[in-house]
Amino acid sequence: MITSLAYFGATSPSYKEWETFGPQVLGAELVEPGPDGAVRLRFDEVAHRMAIHPGEKDGVAYVGWATTGQTGARRIADSVSAYGLPVEQASEPEAALRKVMGFYWFIDPAGIRHELAWGQMRPRTTFLPGRAMSGFRTGEQGLGHVVFAVPDLDKSDKFYREVLGFQLSDTVIDGPIHAYFYHVNGRHHSLAIARSPNEHAAFLHLMLEANSLEDVGTALDLCEDRNVPVTRTLGCHTNDRMTSFYLHSPSGFRIEYGWGGLDVDDLWVPRYYDRTSTWGHRHQHKELSPFLVLDPQAPSN
Ligand code: FE
């Protein structure tokens, strides 16, 4: 069983910028770099939940999911194999790079690399935010959520629900937008997918949830002070009730920085909305690419 979004990895020629952007704008803690020089960021009691690796192109390298231990991870890996996709088990050195005890990995039908991890390391040191803030809402709800555009929405929807075991939270259909949102814990969604306007998969954003609205306001001020493009203004989503704004990260993908997300439980019945936001979230900086096209060849270390 998948229990939460454990970690996220990207590659980027601008990876070094994350050494200041991560702590000073997002509030993450900069921890020891990976052997390849990857900038690693900590958000809570776990060693790190984000790594930006050096690379020639901006891209998503992997999405790491926490599971109910190796047996739980093995069960999902078997389902993925039965679906017809090759699954590999990471070597011990590969697992050590992620600071986990182990993981299986595979490339899904949309070209996204997923890792099914167990045993995320919790170091003896305490989390220290990179700037004054109240910290991140993570724990059992994991790092946050990731949103992808996929070329075959029905195929990906079936794969995430029937093979990986994601639970549908709701559907949003608004003009050209057709999106599904899925939960694996109390967080309204850990994964969402939208229909891609073309045959390419793309990464739309990573959401981080701060513990207070003040942290979101401070991040908004910092973006203005540092000329970090705010791609969607402050607003509130219809479905997960997140009060958030979107910023353009140094690596081309967007980060939704929010507070106040809705919790779901086992009695949740999937909902249907005709718009994504109740107020705000106006698009700005339309000259910037709205997403990052996925490169399945992205390095994995
Ligand atoms: Fe979001």
Q: Please report, for the chain, the start and end positions of each structural domain, with discontinuous segments joined by +.
A: 2-118, 139-292
Calculate how far, in angstroms, residue 252's C-alpha sits from the geometric centre of ligand 1: 16
pTM: 0.96
pLDDT digit string, tens, across residues 47-102 = 999 999 999 999 999 999 999 999 999 999 999 999 999 999 999 999 999 999 99
Q: How far is the CA of 29 from the centre of ligand 1 (A)?
A: 22
CA of 172 to the centre of ligand 1 (A): 12
Distance 205 CA to ligand 1 centre (A): 7
Ligand 1 centroid – CA 153 distance (Å): 18
Distance from the alpha carbon of residue 244 to the mean position of ligand 1, in angstroms: 9
Phi and psi angles of residue 26, each rounded to the nearest 5 degrees, phi first: -75, -30
Mean pLDDT of the chain: 95
CA of 35 to the centre of ligand 1 (A): 31
Q: How confident is the model at residue 296 (pLDDT cuts 50, 70, 90)?
A: low
The pLDDT, as a whole number, for residue 9 is 97
Q: In angstroms, what is the span from residue 160 Cα to ligand 1's centroid? A: 17
The architecture of the domain spanning 2-118 is Roll (3.10)
Distance 256 CA to ligand 1 centre (A): 6
Work out the pLDDT band at 298, boundaries 50, 70, 90: very low
Of the chain, the percentage scoring pLDDT greater than 70 comes to 97
Query: Distance from the CA of 239 to the center of ligand 1, in angstroms?
Result: 10
Percent of the chain with pLDDT over 90: 93
93 CA from centroid of ligand 1 (Å): 33
Interval between CA 301 and ligand 1 midpoint (Å): 26
Domain pair 2-118 / 139-292, same fold:
yes
Query: How would CATH label the architecture of 139-292?
Result: Roll (3.10)
CA of 171 to the centre of ligand 1 (A): 13
Return the pLDDT at 287.
79
Distance (Å) from CA 185 to ligand 1 centroid: 16
pLDDT in tens, 203-251: 999 999 999 999 999 999 999 999 999 999 999 999 999 999 999 999 9
Ligand 1 centroid vs 11 CA: distance in angstroms? 21
For residue 12, the CA-to-ligand 1 centroid distance in Å is 22
Q: How far is the CA of 48 from the centre of ligand 1 (A)?
A: 21
